[in-house]
Every structure is written in structure tokens, then in C-alpha cells.
Amino acid sequence: MGIVSFAETAVADTPLTESVTDLKAAVSGITAGGFTNHAEAFQKAMELFDPFSSNAKVIVMFTDGKTTAGLPPAPVAAAARASGIVIYCIGLTGSDGIDESVLNDWATDPDDSHVAVTPDDADLETLFGDLAVNISKPGATNIIIHERVNQDFMITSVVQPVKGTAEMIDANTILWKIDRLGVSGNEGATLEFFIRHIGQDSGEKLVNRSIEYSDTEGNAVTFPTPSVMVECGIDVEPEPCPKPVDIGVGGCQDFAVIDLGDTYLESLGRIIELNLTLKHVCPGKRVALGVILTEIDRNGTEYSRGMKTMTIPAHQDRYCRDIQIACIRFVLPQDLDVSGGNENSVCSTRNLKARVIAHYIDTDFKCCDTFG
């Protein structure tokens, strides 16, 4: 390990060393300065490493993330990562707060395993301990991850990861296997998959029901807990509350006549029921049927009023026959009237057009398997 302290400038307080005594003495000798030069701190830390060494290289940046001196640090941090150095950022919230976004920018991805923010000294000590264990572990082999999503979701597809292989066990479970990870150097792995919401209610929902992890070395792994906000629809109030009429009755008055004014019928409209006959339907063949309804205004322009699609079951008579289709219903709210009538009355004429599309679903035709 080596130690770099930084204020207006950065100083390498120790070279890379195995001496705990030297490291403690260097830390004890650090005093607070008035500025924060992150760019020079990253540069000094990079200079401690032997570029020809095959050992893993790790920088742990301990800061509030607020640069007050020197060059912009983001390009220097990016250069360090590009050279193979893994960067962890530890943030301690102080009196001036903390800029967590820049810590995420500097650190190696993914952020949730390389950036940690703690509000007090006690949590900080635990955090450093966990980090030391993570850095010094010899990696993992024969990794198996079982991930199960909640019942309100179903997995639709899995993108094969760069590390290992992943497969869907069922609509809710993924099995991810990785032969080795982080054995010869620091590395991570990401699995991407897609889900669809199939629940009946809305709100914020956790994606995962459980994640089980195991490897030969017995590593303990903490996974994030992603959630999604599900909006199942918009509340609709078809009829507004009636406006109240103020009524006053005088003292000692036991009878009063009050005119409440006009009241109109609410939620007017009509239901159109269509019947038709399918001619000459052959036996053993289902029919796909579609009915399209439009309304015509005074200028002849058509407006969609709905579409119904249905499957007509096959009959088993010996010969082709006509099939009666009854009770295909459409709802026509009065507020959609474009025919030119009175929107407050169902006594006006509505001008409509209906189109019917039908074809067989079943057929004897099959594509050729080969061309010869």
C-alpha cells in the first residue's frame, strides 16, 4: 500500500510498502489544508505503481468530491481506469455535504460496488473493513447465481453476458454461471434481462424476489435491490359531481317552494348491435372475423368508433354452410357525435359505416421445407 495526501497540491507520503508501521505513521502525520486538488492526487497515486507489474492496481479515493484547486479530475481518473487501475471512491459526508455524482463519475463501474457514502465515523470504519476484504480476496471460481423475479413480473428475454452463460429456467428464474471472476485481476460482470409487468395493481415494486449466490471460495455478495414504478392506468370520472344549489328556508317557515333550474340527462349514448351472415363456410375451418365501425360527419369525413375481432369456431357438417353471427355490440357515447345532432339528446341521427373482414384461419397450404 501507499498513501497520497492532497490539499492545494498532492504529496506521496509513502511509496508502496508492506510496513504497517510506516503507513500508520504517514497517516498520523497528515494535517488538513485549505484546498482540494483531486487531479494531482490521482496523478500522484498513479505514479506509485510499477507499470510492468502484473499485480492488480487499486486506488481508493477518500473525499467529499468537491474540487477547489488544480485541473479537472475526471480526465485523470478516466486515464487511470483506462490503464487498468480500479478506482474505489469513499465519501464521508461533512458540514458542506458531498458531491456523490462526481464520485460515481471517477469510480470504476458499476457504481454500487465501487462507490460508498457514509454519514459518520462508525460506518466509515466498517466500510473500510469491507473494502479491505474485497480487495484482498483472491477472486471467485465456479460462480452460480439463481435470480428469481417477483410474481408481478415475468422475464421476456435474457441478453447473454460477456462473463459466463445465463439461461431462463422458467418465466421467473434465471440461472447464471461464471467459471471464474477476479482471479487474475479486478473485474466485474453484468447480466441484462427484460421483464414485463403482469400484476393487477400499480405502485413501486421490487423486481427481485430473491438472489442466491455461491462459489468455491465461499465469498459473500451483496446485490442491489432494483425497483420500478408501475402505473396501471389513469383514474377517469365520466360524470362530474352536480353543482349544488343553495337553498334557504326562513325561520318558523314549514313549507317552501324552490326552483332548482334545469337538469340534463348524463352519460347519454347508444349501443349498436350488429348481426351478419358468413356465407359458404367450409367444414373444419375456423374463421377470423373483424368488424370496423366509423361515423361520418357532414363533410363525409370518417371517424373511428371501434373495431371488434373474433374467432368463429369450425363446424363439422359434411358441406359448406352459412353461419349466423349475432350481437356484435358497439358503444357510441353521445359526446363523440359528429353527425351534426344535438349533443344533449339521443334523438338526433348518427351516420355510421360498418366494414366486415373475414378469412379462414385453417388452410391446407404449407411452405416447402427445401427448394429443389
pLDDT over threshold 70, residue 369: no
Determine phi and psi for 192, rounding to 5 degrees: -115, 130
Lowest mean pLDDT across 248-252, 336-340, 343-347: 343-347
Rounded Cα–Cα distance for residues 92 and 336 (Å)? 61
Which band of pLDDT confidence, cut at 50, 70 and 90, is reported for residue 203? Answer: confident
Is residue 292 one of the residues assigned to a domain?
yes
Range of the domain at 66: 3-136
Domain contains 242: no
Is 83 contained in some domain?
A: yes
Q: For the whole model, what pTM was predicted?
A: 0.41
Q: Are 12 and 125 found together in one domain?
A: yes
Same domain, 33 and 115: yes
Q: Residue 323 maps to which CATH number?
A: 2.60.40
The residue from 206, 230, 254 where one domain ends is 230
- DSSP state letters, 84-134: T-EEEEEEE-BTTB--HHHHHHHSPSPHHHHEEEESSHHHHHHHHHHHHHH
pLDDT-derived band at 41 (thresholds 50, 70, 90) equals very high
Least confident of 149-163, 242-256, 332-346: 332-346
Task: Give the per-residue pLDDT at 275.
Answer: 96
Domain final position from 136, 171, 201: 136
- Going by pLDDT thresholds of 50, 70 and 90, the confidence category of residue 299 is confident
Domain-ending residue, one of 111, 136, 161: 136
Residues 71 and 149 both lie in one domain: no
For 244, the 3-state DSSP assignment is: coil
Using pLDDT thresholds of 50, 70 and 90, give the confidence band for residue 106.
very high
User: Quick check: is 252 in a domain?
Assistant: no
pLDDT in tens, 123-139: 777 778 777 777 776 67
Please tell me whether residues 127 and 220 are part of one structural domain.
Answer: no
Q: Are residues 187 and 104 in the same domain?
A: no
Residue 305 lies in a domain: yes
Q: Are residues 7 and 118 in the same domain?
A: yes
The reply to whether 51 falls in a domain is yes
Whether 125 and 144 map to the same domain: the answer is no
User: Would residue 239 count as lying in a domain?
Assistant: no
The most confident of 86-100, 103-117, 162-176, 238-252, by mean pLDDT? 162-176
The DSSP line for 223-239 is ----EEEE-------SS
Q: How many other CB atoms are there within 10 angstroms of residue 350's CB atom?
A: 19
Same domain, 26 and 132: yes
Same domain flag for 125 and 148: no
Take residue 31 and report the three cell numbers written for it: 494535517
